[in-house]
Amino acid sequence: MPGSNPRFLEKAQTLPVDEVFLDLEDSVAPSAKEEARKNVVAALREGDWSGKTRVVRVNDLTTQWTYRDVIEIVEGAGEFLDCVILPKVQDPTEVVWLDTLLTQIEKTMGYDVGRIGIEAQIENARGLVNADAIAGSSKRLETLVFGPADFMASINMRTLVVGEQPPGYVEGDAYHYILMRLLMAARMHDLQVIDGPYLQIRDIEGFKRAARRSAALGFDGKWVLHPSQVDAANEVFSPSQEDYDHAELILEAYEYYTTVEKRGAVMLGDEMIDEASRKMALVVAAKGRAAGLARTKSFTP
């Protein structure tokens, strides 16, 4: 949500999303940056954000705004803030810089040191090539975020529609390598990994198409830019009822066979399950539980 628009900052509080980020970066005009900081502090302090992770995206480190963004937001509303998104991260030293500044502000203000997390947004080739080092650069780091619009621009990809394949490329998925690269870097350091925006806000099918791609690979979520995208995102990133039931069934059956019957590789219907099946089932079951799904099938030996 653009920090320069108080009406949107109100609206964001009512949406069924897991996280809200209040933006000081690219959705805010240069002339409105200072005003936006004040709006964001007020919205964090006075708004009702219950049930949502509260995040602010500051400007990137090539600009003159970053340090004041961090100081004003964290001094003004640090108790009401969960994470800071640092955009266009190219190098681990940028994250270390933010970590150090946060520590100094936390000490000055008497906040718990280390509570505020960092999300690093990767938006160009240098950031992607350095993704492993960036992902391991700070204990505060919680998430890597893909920034497809800036990324496509930075590598000269010939497209104007973010999230769609570049016209003329019919061989595969132009995003596959980038998404996988980010996924590996994030998982190597036990971080979350989040897909970026889809800008055609009226094209819900297009949004779902892009979202399904990262959801299938294992991404933890995707940005939404408009209320119209929220239901689609929640749907795509939640497992189907069928998959959720299947996962819970595997967990229950595996528990029974390994403890009661003391067997490690067993048949569940037509499927052989073992310890690796349990791990795969845990992933799907955890996503289903987080999405509030309820079981409709139970296991009988």
Where on the chain is the footprint of ligand GLV (CB under 6 A)? 26, 123, 147-150, 196-197
Residue 78 contact, options Mg ion, ligand GLV, none, Cβ 5-8 Å cut-off depending on partner type: none
DSSP 79: G
d(CA 89, CA 74): 20
Least distance from C-beta 181 to ligand GLV, angstroms? 16
Q: In the stretch 132-151, what mask flags binding to Mg ion with x, by CB under 5 A?
A: ---------------x--x-
SS3 at position 161: coil
Considering beta carbons, is residue 26 or 243 the nearer one to ligand GLV? 26
Least distance from C-beta 233 to ligand GLV, angstroms? 15
Least distance from C-beta 25 to Mg ion, angstroms? 7
**69 contacts 24 by C-beta, under 8 angstroms:** yes
What is the DSSP track for 200-265?
Answer: -TT-HHHHHHHHHHHHHHT--EE--SSGGGHHHHHHHHSPPHHHHHHHHHHHHHHHHHHHTS--SS
Residue 92 contact, options Mg ion, ligand GLV, none, Cβ 5-8 Å cut-off depending on partner type: none
- Quick one: which of 169, 247, 183, 181 has its CA closest to 215? 183
CA 135 to chain centre: 14
Residue 148 contact, options Mg ion, ligand GLV, none, Cβ 5-8 Å cut-off depending on partner type: ligand GLV
Which residue in the block uniquely carries the two structure tokens 């029974």? 256
Residue 197 contact, options ligand GLV, Mg ion, none, Cβ 5-8 Å cut-off depending on partner type: ligand GLV
> Which burial class, exposed, middle or buried, applies to 137 when counting CB atoms under 10 A from its CB (0-12, 13-18, 19+)?
buried
| Amino acid, single-letter form, for residue 5 | N
Considering beta carbons, is residue 86 or 105 the nearer one to ligand GLV? 86
Considering beta carbons, is residue 97 or 198 the nearer one to ligand GLV? 198
Instruction: Name the strands in the sheet holding 19-23, side by side, starting at the edge strand that comes first in the sequence.
Output: 19-23, 53-57, 83-86, 117-122, 141-146, 192-195, 221-222
Residue 19 contact, options ligand GLV, Mg ion, none, Cβ 5-8 Å cut-off depending on partner type: none
Considering beta carbons, is residue 117 or 147 the nearer one to ligand GLV? 147
How many residues of this chain interact with Mg ion, rule: CB under 5 A?
A: 2
Considering beta carbons, is residue 2 or 147 the nearer one to Mg ion? 147
Considering beta carbons, is residue 78 or 163 the nearer one to ligand GLV? 163
Residues of this chain that bind Mg ion (CB under 5 A): 147, 150
